[in-house]
Amino acid sequence: MAAVNAKIVPVLLVIATLGPGCIHTSQTEVRDESRSVVEFENETAGRIFYETLSKRPARLNREESNTKVSLPIIFSNEHKVVTGPNHGFNQAVRECDTNHDARITESEARIWSGTR
């Protein structure tokens, strides 16, 4: 019986030391990708593309994942991964360059921007 108490007491002391508080760690990591290489048919195609890209809501250009690990009352850890700005650019290129030839034509840019 005394041996059991000897093991439980340190655990209880740790819990008592932590008290009602909880050790919480939070970390946000930005992961970006390399920017897609793309060319524009002409200056107008590039201008339309970049103007449309700049008007897009930020939520369309980002992805987020969130991992939470917790041991109730004692410990919790949150790890968030967000994508960087190149992800949004690459996503826009994939949407705009409909035939995927790494060349955005004025027509593709106009269709993508909705300014036909």
Residues that bind Ca ion (CB under 5 A): 97, 99, 101, 103
Minimum distance, C-beta of residue 24 to Ca ion, in the bound complex (Å): 48
Closer CB to Ca ion, residue 88 or residue 97?
A: 97
Minimum distance, C-beta of residue 41 to Ca ion, in the bound complex (Å): 8
Closer CB to Ca ion, residue 34 or residue 99?
A: 99
Is the Cβ–Cβ distance between 51 and 92 less than 8 Å? Answer: no
Helices (H), 32-71: 43-55, 58-61
DSSP single-letter state for residue 65:
E
Closer CB to Ca ion, residue 45 or residue 87?
A: 45
Q: Which helix (DSSP H) or strand (DSSP E) does residue 68 occupy?
A: strand 64-71
